[in-house]
Chain A
Amino acid sequence: AQKVTQAQTEISVVEKEDVTLDCVYETRDTTYYLFWYKQPPSGELVFLIRRNSFDEQNEISGRYSWNFQKSTSSFNFTITASQVVDSAVYFCALSEAQSGYSTLTFGKGTMLLVSP
């Protein structure tokens, strides 16, 4: 069965520090997609990235970067030079081909607190 583990429940950093949020997943499917969503204090979920299982290239978007390692079943998320506005709960999620991609399996989330 599919599973997503975010072992870090809460991380506190000071502004301008770099921070990495870990995500480890389990799936029997060979074709799957991984996602990161951000949930700011206002409560909505904001889509950040989608990555398929055949593309292990790292991705960078501004201060955000993602490291996908199939060998360790990990899809980690790094924020460089963190800012107070990055404070949020971050969720990693998995979508599998065998379910028709119709459902997302989420981790429990990592709460990131960035203080000035």
Chain B
Amino acid sequence: NAGVMQNPRHLVRRRGQEARLRCSPMKGHSHVYWYRQLPEEGLKFMVYLQKENIIDESGMPKERFSAEFPKEGPSILRIQQVVRGDSAAYFCASSRTARTSGGTPETQYFGPGTRLLVL
């Protein structure tokens, strides 16, 4: 009955390096969402993916950030050439679907987050 898994839990990178954050959804969940939590802020939506498809990336910066959710394996959030402003907690959530057959939203269950620190 494992929940959403994220790794690493903590990641330290120097400016200009790449950061790769992984998210394994709950068993039976095929929808993944990434959120970013800046210090003293609430979570901000970044991107929503289903297997092999990006559904909504309206919250993701246009440059340096990319996300994927391959047919096999975890979802990956990739940040190239990190800058200090990328330091944040990155949360992944998953749901079985986006909406139930009755039209109600499926609850998103969150992972423990990855704390990224850019030096």
Contact = CB atoms under 8 A, between A and B. Distances in A.
Interface stretch (A13-21, A40-48, A69-77): A40-48
Interface residues of B, number: 30
Contact of A45 (B40, B48, B106, B110): B110
Task: Specify the main secondary structure of chain B where it touches its partner.
Answer: strand
A43 B89 contact: yes
Contact of B41 (A35, A50, A108): A108
Interface residues of A, number: 28
Contacts of B112: 42-44
Contact of A101 (B35, B89, B91, B105): B105
Interface of B: 31, 33, 35, 40-45, 48, 55-56, 59, 89, 91, 93, 98-99, 103-113, 115
A103 B111 contact: no
A82 interface: no
Interface in A12-61: 33, 35, 37, 42-47, 50, 52
Interface of A: 4, 6, 33, 35, 37, 42-47, 50, 52, 91, 93, 95, 97, 99-109
